[in-house]
Amino acid sequence: MSKKSKYINESWDFIQFISRSEQAQKYLSKTQRPAALRNLLGQQQENDQLSVFAQQVLTAKNWYHGNDRSVMENAFKEMISAVLVTGIDPVKAAGLAAQKIQQTL
């Protein structure tokens, strides 16, 4: 929270509101994303579509530490499309994507 914000109290109220278990549950049911709250992980581990992600939440690490996340995301999209659409060798496509991503590190 920025000290320069005109709405510090309102911002903190919103953070407290959205981090409540019942509010997080509503958000997660709409987005189908793994929970950040431990008490919601159990039920997500029973969901066929979310279980693989929910089981990894407590040990997962972010590998990307570059300056432009959108470049990394686009490199992955282009890599997948190149393999599926043009039939490029997957190893070559991965190498090209790695080069693009390394430029952002």
- If one counts every other C-beta atom within 10 angstroms of the C-beta of residue 82, the result is 18
Domain limits for position 41:
8-54
Q: DSSP assignment, residue 87?
A: -
In tens, the pLDDT along 50-79 reads: 888 888 888 888 888 889 999 999 999 999
Residue 22 counted as domain residue: yes
- 50 and 13 in a common domain: yes
- 50 and 12 in a common domain: yes
pTM, rounded to two decimals = 0.50
Report the domain count for the chain.
Answer: 2
Residue 60 counted as domain residue: no
CA distance from start to end of the chain: 27
The list of the chain residues with pLDDT below 70 reads: 1
- If one counts every other C-beta atom within 10 angstroms of the C-beta of residue 74, the result is 14
Q: Which is nearest to 39 in space by CA: 20, 56, 26, 52?
A: 20
Helical residues (DSSP H) of 1-105, grouped into ranges: 8-18, 21-31, 38-45, 51-54, 69-81, 90-102
- 47 and 14 in a common domain: yes
Residue 25 counted as domain residue: yes
- 76 and 48 in a common domain: no
Residue type, 82: A
- 73 and 42 in a common domain: no
